Chains A and B, each alone.
Chain A
Amino acid sequence: MLWAVATILFLMFRLMPSNPLAAYIDPTFTVEQQAALMAKFGLDRPLWEQYFIYLWNLLQGELGDSFFYRQPVGTRVLELLPNTLILTFSSLIIAYTFGIIVGAWLAWKRDTFAERAAIPLVLTTRALPEFWLGMLLLALFSFTLGWFPAGGTRSPGSEYASYFALYTSRDFLSHLVLPAMTLAIYSQGLPLLLMRSNMLEVMNEDFVTMARIKGLSSWTVVVRHAARNALLPVMTSFAIAVGYQIQGNVVVETVFSWPGLGRELVNAVSASDYPLAQGAFLMIAVVVVLMNLLADLLYTLLDPRISHA
């Protein structure tokens, strides 16, 4: 799987019309200097040889050097990964908590006015362009009301003793609120709708009817019996949502100048920094593939009735 993605990536970056070193070569370089550079990066060799060198390097975790930062891509990408993961997980945890509770509640309140009004509203949140939502929140809460900082992860000039101190600081968290809320508003729809439809299905099953006949209160029936069982498929969707969110982060990170993988990819592509763009892309792809795999595993693990051939 990852091999296939890496191959497509290689072909995309190598078969493109522009010279990959265009950003690196100064116009004042002589032809000999250019040729020397080509040789240094191995670009003078035949394509298939470049391809095998590329794969071999990948296996060793070697991603090359960034043209722009003049430092190994691997270090740079690993530095940015935590920022992206923190943003993704905090927004998804908010989204899932909200979605599960409200989804269950809507199933309980089936055919009331609240339920009928809520569904189109939820569909509308799924239709919002994430970056536009981010722009609205930014304009409203940051520029007009001044409640939250406008971008980045920390105030200029602030230093922290350790990553832990940084990530738990008030400063960092206040920077996190708006981008996390943007992503959470966008992603709560999936768990909400899933939870609702699962609940409706579970509520018709015999064991729920049985619990009702036993005279248990409707709260106990809904929460202890129905919600628990409806929760399983929603939890497996979490893994897929992580993979999906990692790719969607690109725009939100850009709006909020959040130094994560997505924004780095955009900057690297704009600056023709091929090794860095390739590295960021590959890292995102790794997360997506791993999460798809995890979803498959969770699926069989949580529900033994399903087994994959």
Chain B
Amino acid sequence: MRSATAEPANTGNPVMRVLRKIRLPLDDPFAVVGLLIYAVFFLVAIFADQLATHDPLEILFDKDYQLAADLRPLEDGFVLGTTSLGRDIYSQLIYGSRSALLIGLTAAFMVAVIGTVVGLLSGYFGGWIDILLMRAADIAFGIPFLPFVIVLAAFLEPSIWNVVLAMALILWRDTGRVIRSQVLTLRTRAYIDAARVSGSSDLKIVFRHIAPNILPLSFLYGSIAIGWAILTEAAISFLGFGDPETISWGYMLQDAYASQALSQGGYYWFVPPGICIVLVVVAGFFISRGYEEILFPKLKE
């Protein structure tokens, strides 16, 4: 398996070294599709101001000063029609990509970082640190995730960050366990002994010699966590515990559901946000599959 960044070894630059260790899975066609989907949504999120035709929360009126509500797609120049409150669906969809990516990436970052640190410490040091951290993971496995987010979101101020907080508090458990077992096998390798004999401190061994080798694994779990975060945010917004000030795809679906769009056949309203969610989440899955094939090449034979 060839790594993606196949440039000549650039050992001096830490950024390049990390990039090389991450090994973007560019050999796998699915992973490439996933990365392309991300690229498109990134561009949409960055240029949302230019792409959107209206303010997503503005209540719009037509030229006769009538509320522009429940318009079908392309009617009066609204690409995807309007909601029953007279808001532009297309613009909401565009701005929704911002909150989705923001939540997805921060949550994935938190989950990957916390899980990796827990796994590293637990696996390398063992002893009471290991017992303590793995007990905590057991408890985290016993807490039903979605109900936990609901309770948390209901008690705290409505904000999109609740989902990120809840994921950081609970979902490090999966990453942590897997990385711990990986560290357990790594620490018995000869080069770790060599590092120890040559006088490296524990911290240096963990972060310099072991951490780089588990980075792809962290990224594998991170790319799954992006999807999880977006799905969770959508579910929370749908249940009405989201931030009413922020446009997200979940908020759009809740709006459509609460406004009886289902019984009125308003497919143009609730189908597009769902498709966007599926695309972003599936992109994460495709990328993680690419990583799996790098990490566990046996699967491919």
The interface of chain A, by Cβ under 8 A from chain B, is 1-2, 4-5, 8, 12-13, 16-18, 120, 123-124, 126-132, 135-136, 138-139, 143-144, 150, 197, 246-248, 250-251, 254-255, 262, 265-266, 269-270, 277, 280-281, 284-285, 288-289, 292
Contact = CB atoms under 8 A, between A and B. Distances in A.
A269 to B, nearest CB: 4
The 10 closest A-B pairs by CB, nearest first: A127-B281, A132-B274, A247-B144, A127-B282, A16-B155, A139-B262, A269-B154, A4-B139, A143-B263, A289-B142
Interface stretch (B43-51, B177-185, B203-211, B235-243): B235-243
A277 B235 CA distance: 18
A150 B263 CA distance: 9
A255 to B, nearest CB: 7
Contact of A127 (B144, B270, B285, B299): B285
A132 B270 contact: yes
Contacts of B30: 120
12 contacts: A12-B151, A120-B282, A123-B286, A129-B235, A131-B238, A135-B262, A139-B261, A247-B145, A250-B146, A254-B239, A270-B240, A285-B147
Contacts of B263: 139, 143, 150
Contact of A1 (B139, B238, B241): B139
Nearest to B270: A135
B144 A128 contact: no
B31 to A, nearest CB: 12
A8 B143 CA distance: 9
A129 B239 contact: no
Contacts of B231: 127, 129
Interface of B is mostly: helix
Contacts of B271: 136
B39 interface: no
B142 A265 contact: no
Contact of A123 (B145, B253, B285): B285
Nearest to B285: A123
B251 to A, nearest CB: 13
